[in-house]
Amino acid sequence: MKTAQIGAAGVLLLQYRLLKCGIDSSAMTTDDGIDVVAYSPQLRDAVTIQVKSVLAPKKAGGRGKLTLDWWLRHNSPAQLVALCDLSTDRIWIFRHEEYLATAQQNSSGRAHLYFYIDVTAKVPERSKESFFDQFLIDRRTSELFSSPDVFA
C-alpha cells in the first residue's frame, strides 16, 4: 500500500468512527496540516484534525520490540491529532498540546510519539500501549466534541 493510500485510509476510518458518534466531518482536498474538519452539534462549531496513519507495527530501531509511532510538526495548525493503526482499526485522539506533551522525542520542529505493543518490552510506563488507552477515540469523543471549554 502506498503512503497516500495509508493516509487516505486513516482519514476514512476517522470519519467513519466520528459519524457513528453523530459527528459530521469532511476531508480536506489539500494537506496544509489539517486533514479533517468535524462539526460537533453539541459544540455548534467545527474542529480541525490532523490524521496520522500507520499500516502496521514495526520493530523499534529495525530490530527491537514491535512499536507504533507517528511524527507531527510542532506548528501543526490542527486542534486535534488522530493517530490511526490500520492493522487494528484503532484510533487515538489528542489535543495538539497533549500530543506534544506526550511525545517522547522532539527534534527539528517535529514531535515523535510511539509506544511498544509488545507487553514484554521493559520500557517506561508512558511508552507502553496500556498508557495510551486513555486516548482511544471511544473514550475521548464525548469529552472532545461536547464541551466548549475543551479548546479554550
Give the CATH number of the domain where residue 68 resides: 3.40.1350.10
> Which residues form the domain of 80?
3-151
Contact 111, 99 (CB under 8 A): yes
pLDDT 10s digits, 37-78: 999 888 888 999 999 999 999 988 888 889 999 999 999 999
Q: How far apart are CA 59 and CA 3, in angstroms?
A: 18
Contact 66, 57 (CB under 8 A): yes
Q: Looking at the predicted structure, is the pLDDT value of residue 150 above 60?
A: no
What's the number of domains the chain is made of? 1
